[in-house]
Amino acid sequence: MTPDEFKALPEQAQRDRVVAIARTWLGTPYHTAGTIKRVGCDCATMPAMTYLEAGIIQSFDPAQYPPDWHLHRSEERYMAGVLEHAHEIGGPPKEGDFALWKFGRCFSHGAIVVKWPTIIHAYLGKTVQLENVDQTKWLRFIGENTSDKGKPRPVKFFSPWG
């Protein structure tokens, strides 16, 4: 499908296509800056390649970055890249929107929304997974607290639509 054909679809069909493409990444191993389905990707490259395949973005240059970049810099590097293609929205997000959580010193973990609170994302040491945020304490809370009490982890939502 060409970008023009994608843009001619109704918005819900575009959103459904993004989620369908994201699902094709399920099971792909985590690999920092990887961009190849079933071989390796991370939480920035999988969404970018999904939006690229759908026709929402025209190109993507992952540029070199170390896996721990978010621990040593306060610059919102990831968010700046997202804002080149989408705008921040209030919640709840819709299908195909993008969620970005704060880890370390900046917003540095991204996922595609399937139907909130269900997301598709890549995480270090795991494959691309479908997860329910409400059942995932490490996405909801900061720290290693084993109870449901703790400081909520900041999350922002973005959409290329609207």
Cα Rg, the chain, nearest whole Å? 15
DSSP string across 44-59: THHHHHHHHHHTS-S-
Beta strand 40-41 with 98-103 is: unpaired
pLDDT of residue 95: 98
Instruction: Report, as an integer, the average pLDDT of 44-72.
Output: 79
Burial code (b: 16+ CB inside 10 Å, e: under 16) for 58-81 equals eebebeeeeeebbeeeeebbbbeb
Residue 63 has pLDDT above 90, yes or no: no
Q: What is the pLDDT of residues 5-57, one digit of tens each?
A: 888 999 999 999 999 999 999 999 999 889 999 999 999 999 999 999 999 98
Lowest pLDDT segment from 10-14, 66-70, 78-82, 110-114? 66-70
Q: Which helix (H) or strand (E) holds 107?
A: strand 106-115
Does residue 127 contact residue 54 with C-beta atoms inside 8 Å? no
pLDDT at 58: 84
